[in-house]
């Protein structure tokens, strides 16, 4: 009898362990990746590299947090590529005539307006499926990118060309408070606000219900169109914030600056555990997804893996994440 109890206890512990691994697989992957890289390249744990990771983390986490709400709501947004480019070139160009604070505020407002415009087109087209939203937002990304090209004449602008004070953008892109980057502190503040919005407000819960089942949400009295506008405005605003952090770090703004951000954002959100089917997800889990993607890029660069192989690996991870999401959903 004691033997049976022991076997049952062992079986229970095994199930709990496997359940923990399945639930927090991304944490396990992050730890393994960090350990392997630290052993192969000791410079990985240096303070300089940790600061570099925090700065690389900034732009992608902003875009991904916005994308999280879109995917939870049952949609997708490929327009973030065009919004990053458009907001970056417009914001940088306005520093000279208006000053840095007005330029910053206009850039953030522009991102929100782009999100509102995209959502209005989606609603007017009656596009209530992710596939329909995918093609509409891809088209909008092309439009925003084209406007950025027309606005700049296809040229790249440099922050160093601005003669007025740019200390705010320099602080965002390169400043530190102790050993913590300013962009990372901005991320912590934004994360707290979005977590409260998602978990403690009516609209946050309504977005999850809409993504889970739009018909059921409508029958319970939820305004579906308002939810769609909200998620795309949030995504547009967060993408604009990511664009500002990005060009402040690289000190240049070009009409193609946002290239690849839609893929990396979707990868981070899905790897973090947000369901592509909608209705399930968390901004906190998205943070883990972005951390894994950022660490992967940093580790591969330190190990001198070719850029082409890095693209292959990111694609393989995205496919694996979608497969796991589909398995969980079934």
**71 Cβ contact list (under 8 Å, min separation 6):** 211, 266, 269, 270, 274, 275, 276, 278, 281
Rounded to whole angstroms, the Cα distance separating 330 from 324 reads 10
Q: Which residue range(s) make up the domain with 133?
A: 56-329
Residue 33 lies in a domain: no
Residue 36 lies in a domain: no
Residue 279 lies in a domain: yes
Band of pLDDT at residue 23, cut at 50, 70 and 90: low
Least confident of 201-210, 215-224, 227-236, 298-307: 298-307
What is the average pLDDT score of the chain?
Answer: 88
**53 Cβ contact list (under 8 Å, min separation 6):** 294, 295, 298
pLDDT tens by residue, 41-96? 888 888 888 888 888 888 999 999 999 999 999 999 999 999 999 999 999 999 99
Helix, strand, coil tally for the chain in percent (to 5): 80, 0, 20
Q: Are 82 and 143 contacting, i.e. CB atoms less than 8 angstroms apart?
A: yes
First-to-last C-alpha distance (Å) of the chain: 38
Band of pLDDT at residue 284, cut at 50, 70 and 90: very high
Rounded percentage of the chain residues whose pLDDT exceeds 70 = 91
Task: Give the pLDDT score at 129.
Answer: 85
Q: Are 84 and 238 contacting, i.e. CB atoms less than 8 angstroms apart?
A: no
Sign of CA dihedral 308, 320, 139, 72: negative
CATH number of the domain that residue 126 is part of: 1.10.3470
Residue 21 has pLDDT above 80, yes or no: no
Residue 40 lies in a domain: no
Distance of CA 265 to the CA centre of its chain: 4
Residue 64 burial by Cβ neighbours in a 10 Å radius (0-12, 13-18, 19+): buried
Task: Give the pLDDT score at 95.
Answer: 96
| CB burial string 28-51: b at 16+ within 10 A, e below | ebbeebbeebeeeeeebeeeeeeb
Task: Give the pLDDT score at 177.
Answer: 84
- What is the rounded average pLDDT of the residues 286-306? 87
Whose CA is closest to 295, among 65, 121, 56, 63?
Answer: 56
Rg (CA), the chain: 21
Distance of CA 302 to the CA centre of its chain: 23
Residue 4 lies in a domain: no
Residue 12 has pLDDT above 90, yes or no: no
Residue 7 lies in a domain: no
Max CA distance (Å), the chain: 83
Residue 132 has pLDDT above 70, yes or no: yes
Task: Give the pLDDT score at 44.
Answer: 84
Residue 325 has pLDDT above 90, yes or no: no
Task: Give the pLDDT score at 296.
Answer: 86
Question: How many structural domains is the chain composed of?
Answer: 1
Q: Which two tokens stand for residue 138?
A: 């891809």
Task: Give the pLDDT score at 224.
Answer: 94
pLDDT tens by residue, 172-218? 998 888 878 899 999 999 999 999 999 999 999 999 999 989 989 99
Task: Give the pLDDT score at 96.
Answer: 94
Task: Give the pLDDT score at 186.
Answer: 94
Residue 15 lies in a domain: no
- What is the rounded average pLDDT of the residues 15-43? 75
Residue 39 lies in a domain: no
């Amino acid at each position: 009898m004691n033997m049976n109890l022991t076997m049952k206890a062992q079986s229970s512990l095994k199930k709990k362990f496997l359940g923990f691994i399945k639930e927090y697989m991304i944490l396990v992957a992050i730890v393994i990746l960090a350990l392997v890289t630290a052993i192969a390249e000791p410079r990985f744990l240096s303070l300089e590299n940790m600061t570099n990771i925090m700065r690389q983390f900034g732009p992608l986490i902003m875009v991904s947090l916005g994308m999280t709400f879109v995917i939870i709501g049952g949609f997708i947004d490929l327009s973030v590529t065009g919004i990053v480019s458009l907001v970056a070139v417009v914001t940088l160009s306005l520093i000279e005539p208006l000053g840095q604070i007005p330029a910053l505020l206009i850039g953030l407002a522009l991102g929100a307006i782009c999100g509102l415009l995209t959502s209005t087109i989606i609603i007017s087209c009656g596009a209530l499926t992710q596939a329909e939203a995918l093609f509409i937002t891809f088209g909008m990304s092309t439009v925003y990118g084209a406007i950025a090209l027309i606005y700049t004449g296809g040229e790249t602008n440099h922050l160093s060309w601005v003669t007025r004070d740019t200390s705010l953008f320099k602080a965002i892109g390169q400043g530190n408070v102790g050993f913590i980057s300013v962009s990372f502190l901005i991320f912590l503040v934004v994360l707290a606000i979005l977590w409260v919005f998602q978990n403690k407000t009516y609209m946050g819960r309504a977005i999850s219900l809409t993504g889970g089942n739009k018909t059921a949400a409508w029958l319970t009295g939820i305004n579906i169109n308002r939810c769609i506008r909200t998620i795309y405005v949030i995504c547009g605003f967060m993408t604009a914030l990511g664009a500002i952090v990005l060009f402040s770090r690289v000190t240049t703004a070009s009409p193609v600056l946002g290239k690849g951000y839609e893929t990396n954002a979707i990868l981070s959100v899905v790897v973090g555990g947000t369901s592509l089917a909608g209705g399930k997800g968390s901004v906190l889990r998205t943070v883990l997804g972005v951390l894994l993607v950022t660490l992967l890029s940093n580790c591969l660069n330190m190990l001198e893996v070719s850029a082409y192989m890095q693209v292959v690996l990111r694609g393989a991870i995205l496919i694996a994440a979608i497969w796991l999401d589909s398995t969980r959903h079934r």
